[in-house]
A = this chain, B = another copy of it.
Amino acid sequence: MTRLRMAMIGGGPGAFIGPVHRIAAELDREIELVAGVFSSDPARSRAGGLAYGLDPARTYGSLAEMLAAETARADGAQFVAIVTPNHDHLPSAKAALAAGLPVISDKPMTATLAEAHELAEAVEASGLPFGLTYTYSGYPLVREARARIAAGALGKVRKVVVEYPQGWLAGPATGKQAEWRVDPSRAGAGGCIGDIGVHAFQLAEFVTGLHVSELLADLGAVVPGRQLDDDCSVLLRFNNGARGVLLASQIEVGELNGLRIRVYGETGGLVWKQEEPNALMLHHLDGRSEVIRAGTGLLGPDAARRTRTPGGHPEGYLEAFANLYRDFTERVRGGEAPLLPGVAEGLRSMAFIDTAVRASAARAGWTPLSV
């Protein structure tokens, strides 16, 4: 089977997430990066292409140029990966879809909920695959957690606590990674809530199979002068009546990327931590506690088929990311890939950001979440 050919938008010099997408896409040798627009600045775009080792002829100065050129080639790109800041997601995705190319995009779906609806319509009209890289739902043990909960391992879910502490924006937001994230014109209305809170939200819905129906949000801009939120506390209700708490912060000094989720049901509890991703703790009402470890024979098919190494040989963030690209590849090739986040998850996440930002600004108390 030949590799799918990928074009990338964004991810040029200095970006963290561009190389991550490239590694993840190519990790399982089912995809090859062949073209890209790596910056809106042509010289920087060329530099980006060189850094990726691309044919200079296929490093473009604009998306329009790339789409025209690639769709004209017999060996042209077969899909587009969007790794630009949020405000660019909508136009880039629409253009790619209009050119007949499937899209996989960094999260969140767009900068605003209205844009997300516009994109959702474009995706539907196109009939093309569309995926969102909610990275953490790619971890094998996250999928194991989802499968076990779906199979009733915890009984009815009663409580979800999902936390995403970081500390890297505790000081001034300097550098390429930080600057756009604290700038409403590029990041959208949400700061921390849109950058990482939304990961926590998607993880909670993914793992439990539930939907958040109502929330109470308390977003703060802790660092003086910051325009967007950098610390978020959100109380949740799920559609089965379960209670929840979602915490996300980028000012917690010493926290690196501490996403973790705990789910409690009538008969069990479950804990997963992104920084120790190869273990899942499962508690039972009778007092027994199990450690379920990646790569062992205890895992169900969703986890097992997204695992590359035997137990004790840690897989990490890049492999989780690569699992989303494997899902996307299956989808592009006509498969179902039901665990790949897409339009539905994108809309829900944008509604989450939108609702949380508005409700917090208005000190509105409990507010329904609807797409």
Q: Quick one: given A243-B231, A284-B253, A285-B170, are A53 and B26 in contact (CB under 8 Å)?
A: no
- The reply on A144 being an interface residue by CB < 8 A is no
- The reply on A116 being an interface residue by CB < 8 A is no
Do residues A252 and B277 form an inter-chain contact, with CB atoms below 8 A?
Answer: no
Checking B249, B258, B287, B314 against A317 with a beta-carbon cut-off of 8 angstroms, the contacting residue is B314
Do residues A159 and B252 form an inter-chain contact, with CB atoms below 8 A?
Answer: yes
In the complex, chain B residues whose CB is within 8 Å of the CB of A264: 167, 170, 249, 251-255
Do residues B167 and A269 form an inter-chain contact, with CB atoms below 8 A?
Answer: yes
Q: Is the interface of A mostly helix, strand, loop or mixed?
A: loop
A-side interface residues, number (CB < 8 Å):
90
Do residues A312 and B216 form an inter-chain contact, with CB atoms below 8 A?
Answer: no
Do residues A3 and B222 form an inter-chain contact, with CB atoms below 8 A?
Answer: no
**Max chain B Cβ within 10 angstroms of own Cβ: one of A2, A253, A255, A309:** A253
How many copies the complex holds: the figure is 4
In the complex, chain B residues whose CB is within 8 Å of the CB of A366: 363
Q: List 10 A-B contacts (CB under 8 A).
A: A165-B262, A168-B310, A218-B235, A233-B235, A233-B243, A253-B266, A253-B284, A254-B271, A309-B317, A316-B319
- Nearest 10 pairs between A and B by C-beta? A254-B283, A256-B312, A257-B312, A314-B316, A254-B269, A253-B269, A313-B317, A256-B311, A316-B316, A287-B296
Do residues B23 and A27 form an inter-chain contact, with CB atoms below 8 A?
Answer: yes
Do residues B243 and A245 form an inter-chain contact, with CB atoms below 8 A?
Answer: no
- The reply on A85 being an interface residue by CB < 8 A is no
Do residues B293 and A291 form an inter-chain contact, with CB atoms below 8 A?
Answer: no
